[in-house]
Chains A and B, each alone.
Chain A
């Protein structure tokens, strides 16, 4: 088993784990994290695809991964901010229910 294959397999496994988390794990933060794990799995696969044993490795997957990370960060941030705002609204709603 070559090095890039190990990374590839791990990447796919990570993707699977993330998928499991996204679908099965109930907590919303964990779901968001699961998405990130999936992303990491895909990035790993990409990087492994660019691995060139014995030569210069392919820079294109690297660039893609860099771009992908930023996108993933952005998505995560948006998700988190939504969670915050929802939590805020729910708390307000709960307060209003509790108040009278």
Chain B
């Protein structure tokens, strides 16, 4: 026995001994117990750290104790076990702190902490188990040690929970035992080996192996809560919060999942398992579990139960990743061990905090709790977003790998499952977040306890914050050597024998300004968490956009490569990016200045500002990102932050708009996720620069079109836009319509096979998609005019105008897809158009806020230029930026007769809309009373933007190609006649338009919502049906265990009573005597 063979044992003992000592302590020795607890946890962690460094240096740690002939108790550290023990050790420490705070002054603490330590010991044992038998031993031990924790409270509910828990786990343990023994008789010692034990044993019957596999998975599936073996998990919620946290995040469910990974990879061997066809079944079960758990979670009002069902769903990601059986999916599954642990423990901590501090147990009681407990709810929100799969929280990373892995293994349907699960996750988490932050509180909390200056006891507050930070860090630093993902990569490499790891690159920061552009608003937003800074925030916000502006203006070459961030983050500024960054910087700058004045009297200006800055940061980031992860991360950041902007006013309308917005955002995220996963797989890299045209297939293009189409307001995915843009405060509307929708366009430009050189044949298959996009875009361009022109609210009208303009851009992109030959010219044209539209639309929105000034404009009619110039530019008045953009588009799409032919028609429509807009503004301005007092500080930003609208487009290098075409006399005429025609039309139809009833904003979504109500009723009915079926299936199980054997045993009892007399036993004796004699006679 030397050091390296003792270390695993010592890790185990460090928690075991702690538990033993604590067990012997008297209840009153509080300080000593706390000290011991922390000491034990820290010691374990330290030993784990020693081991990790040792393994890193190539040492082998193995404790081997003989147990039975040909069977040893083996504790060994490999990559997979290190991952798990590190997680366990870390979360133990955190949970210990939490539990100390949580259980203050409650009885039986020595018992609790004793078993708590035992439980950790068992988990560590599971992690370190070097063969199936050792694993089994600790697995059973875990059952035993968690039971006292589950029933700790001693209430009837918890006792029942304990019984159910035992019933399930004991059955599972028994199945596992049979499987292990059987396997052992066939295959010997069952030491975990990287490529599986069984692959090298062809002589074993396949049917047997299949049955054994089923037994093992069923046994492990109980703890991993695979449907239909998950019934214990929600019931076990009766346990105290730290126990739930530990049960769900680390110990129990993870033990099951971990076991599944071990069995599939290290016992069967992934290749072999797939050959046997075993992984299909497992992945199917996992998929069903994922979806079913989520559906059940939807129906729960009890917060902890909802989280429990969420666990049911989430843990199966691990099984799914394992079963998909590709190296990347393995990474996803394994890393989800860690990620889910971090996030779920956070959620449970938070739920515990709510219950402990405010007495809140139900989702329905959560209204407005975000104000009372901001830190807790912030942690909750982040973790929940991670669960949904929002980057950059850790959950995204695992989903990412799972998706890519599924593609790699040709299991496309998994994407569907992931998408469905994400949607469902959102459906049950977002209402919580929404209620906590945005709904007003309903009077008193059920049981409010005060803890001085903090919102709750510091020991309760610290752990969730730490785990959230870790979850966030795990997602952000996915590419770092010591991140869970890299670790999982190591595991996956070992398991599948494939090289997937990247070389570790040195950090390259060639263009620090790019980072500054992103970080400036982000840091400011974070700083604004402090109340004192928050008040200053509006004043500071504009300056945060300056680095971006500088970056867009100044020439800078090269890329920032941060391999440890995400999956190797790359930031760069290419031509496309530069245009978008310029647009973004200008708009955000102007909007920020505008907001300073606009929100001067708003009580919540600080909050607005935080969201504003976050969205800004996301927007800059997505423009700069040159890798998919960066792109989607910032894209998500922007989308989510924009939610805060949309609902800022808090009116019913705003809330409804926010809801619609969020639904579509989530949908878009899911679609994009699927698309990206597929893309990364087929391209082999997440780096956009290496994205060849041949990486795509029809599905990817379809997903990209739909995913970005939502953001870009592509008909019929546009419905959120006319609702969300108008209700937001004016500066927010400006950036929403001006630049944020352009993110969709940018996405297309970046990820569609656009502007890339490629063979003609590859593109042939994209033509259909291109045609679709073209048709939808043009339809949108025209229909939006029809709907927009009857609007009364100028902002809604502008939103429809945006849809119309984006339709044109979409159609252009579609044209590019149809005919790749167009692309070299089309790309700069698109950029020009985007810049022009963004600036003009932004200014138009800002101008809406100037109404009071305009109304009082008697003395300065010149202010109308702020309204008229962008309006005319949009309409395409010759020599304006609009004329240039349109000419460019026409030139570029010269071969695309449909587009070229319809462009003037859209110009007519745009003119109509703009005429209507100016008319509306004019009408409003005339009715002075409605306009209110003019606010100071609004004019300046508009004036700042005005020259940009006028000339910025001409300054672009891309403009040079087209300026000649735009300034040619024919072009001038071509630009003029639609304008004139439009004005004429408006003049003719003005009376009708003024009388017409406005189509409700969101047009078709109204119909959808009507249908939705019906669907919801149906769903509720279906849910009830499912629930009753569930009771039918499982209700029966708990009854005989709980109510006990009252009926079944009566006959037996009578039998026994009768046997108490002598007669029957005597007879029995005789019978036995005769039988024995009979059978002994051969």
Contacts and interface: CB of A to CB of B under 8 A. Distances in A.
Direct contact of A and B (CB under 8 A): yes
Most buried by B among A22, A23, A24: A23
A31 B1067 CA distance: 15
B1066 interface: yes
A31 B1062 CA distance: 11
Interface in A8-42: 19, 22-24, 31
Most buried by A among B1063, B1066, B1067, B1069: B1066
Contacts of B1069: 23
Interface in B1054-1082: 1062-1063, 1066-1067, 1069-1070
Interface in B1023-1082: 1062-1063, 1066-1067, 1069-1070
Contacts of B1067: 23
A22 B1065 CA distance: 11
Contacts of A23: 1062-1063, 1066-1067, 1069-1070
A92 to B, nearest CB: 22
Contacts of A22: 1066
Contacts of B1063: 23
Nearest to A28: B1062
Chain A's interface: helix, strand, loop or mixed, by majority? Answer: helix
A23 B1067 CA distance: 8
A24 B1069 CA distance: 12
Nearest to A24: B1066
A3 to B, nearest CB: 27
A24 B1064 CA distance: 10
B1061 to A, nearest CB: 10
A19 B1069 CA distance: 10
A31 B1066 CA distance: 12
A17 to B, nearest CB: 14
Interface string A52-70: 0000000000000000000
A22 B1063 CA distance: 10
Most buried by A among B1062, B1063, B1069: B1062
A22 B1067 CA distance: 11
A22 B1062 CA distance: 9
A31 B1069 CA distance: 15
A18 to B, nearest CB: 12
A23 B328 CA distance: 75
Contacts of A31: 1062
Contacts of A19: 1070
A45 B203 CA distance: 59
Contacts of A24: 1066
A23 B1062 CA distance: 7
Interface string B846-870: 0000000000000000000000000
Nearest to B1063: A23
Nearest to B1067: A23
A72 B1062 CA distance: 21
Contacts of B1066: 22-24
B1065 to A, nearest CB: 9
B1064 to A, nearest CB: 10
A43 to B, nearest CB: 20
A51 B1067 CA distance: 35
A48 B1070 CA distance: 26
Contacts of B1062: 23, 31
A95 B1069 CA distance: 36
A19 to B, nearest CB: 8
A22 B1066 CA distance: 8
A59 B178 CA distance: 57
A78 to B, nearest CB: 18
A34 to B, nearest CB: 11
A23 B1063 CA distance: 7
Contacts of B1070: 19, 23
B379 to A, nearest CB: 69
Nearest to A26: B1062
A22 to B, nearest CB: 7
A66 B1048 CA distance: 52
B980 to A, nearest CB: 121
A22 B1070 CA distance: 11
Nearest to B1069: A23
Interface in B140-185: none
A28 to B, nearest CB: 9
A23 B1070 CA distance: 9
Nearest to B1061: A26
B219 to A, nearest CB: 48
A97 to B, nearest CB: 21
A31 B1063 CA distance: 12
Nearest to A31: B1062
Nearest to A19: B1070
A95 B458 CA distance: 70
A16 B1069 CA distance: 13
A31 B1065 CA distance: 14
A24 B1067 CA distance: 9
A57 B1069 CA distance: 36
Given A23-B1063, A23-B1070, 8 more contacts: A19-B1070, A22-B1066, A23-B1062, A23-B1066, A23-B1067, A23-B1069, A24-B1066, A31-B1062
8 contacts: A22-B1066, A23-B1062, A23-B1066, A23-B1067, A23-B1069, A23-B1070, A24-B1066, A31-B1062
Interface of B: 1062-1063, 1066-1067, 1069-1070
Instruction: Rank and list the top 5 A-B pairs by shortest CB-CB distance, nearest first.
Output: A23-B1066, A23-B1070, A22-B1066, A23-B1069, A23-B1067
